[in-house]
Structure 1
């Protein structure tokens, strides 16, 4: 296994500490992305993003109205898939 790769092979034992560490790391990572897209792109970086447009709408406005919702839905999908992998890896399957 290469450095930085995650071993997704199921284990026979429960590793609750490893499971919660991985879950916390994933949750914090996804919250940072959510914050940067919803608050950052829609408010903080809006003026810089408004120099570009999507479908005639300024990009900052688009992120505030639409983009943040699309990213939020993508984050839900990523969270569900990664949690399924973590449950298998750490033997937490229900």
Structure 2
């Protein structure tokens, strides 16, 4: 029973990290910090605009792959079978 609880706690920690990163990138960089970031250009576009339009999507896709890798490692660690 203790392994299941620890496994779930580690899974929730990974989910919280993913949500926190995605929130910072999409809401923080795309909305709250858009004006200061717009002073920087990325490929001819203002960085704040880029984060609002593309950055949050790329970050979300990266988080999917990162979460998948970490969950596979966690499953191996706790011998969870598919």
Q: Same fold (TM over 0.5)?
A: yes
Residue by residue, what CA displacement relative to the aligned partner does 1:26-60 show, whole Å, maximum 9, x if unpaired? 10011000000001100001011011011111000
> Which structure shows the bigger proportion of residues in helix conformation?
2
Runs of 4+ aligned residues of structure 1 deviating over 6 Å after TM superposition are none
TM-score, normalising length: structure 1: 0.83
- Count matched residues: 81
Higher relative contact order (CA closer than 8 Å, sequence separation 6+): 1
Which of the two has higher C-alpha Rg?
1
C-alpha displacement of 1:93: 2.0
TM-score, normalising length: structure 2: 0.94
Q: Which runs of 5+ in 1 are unaligned?
A: 1-13
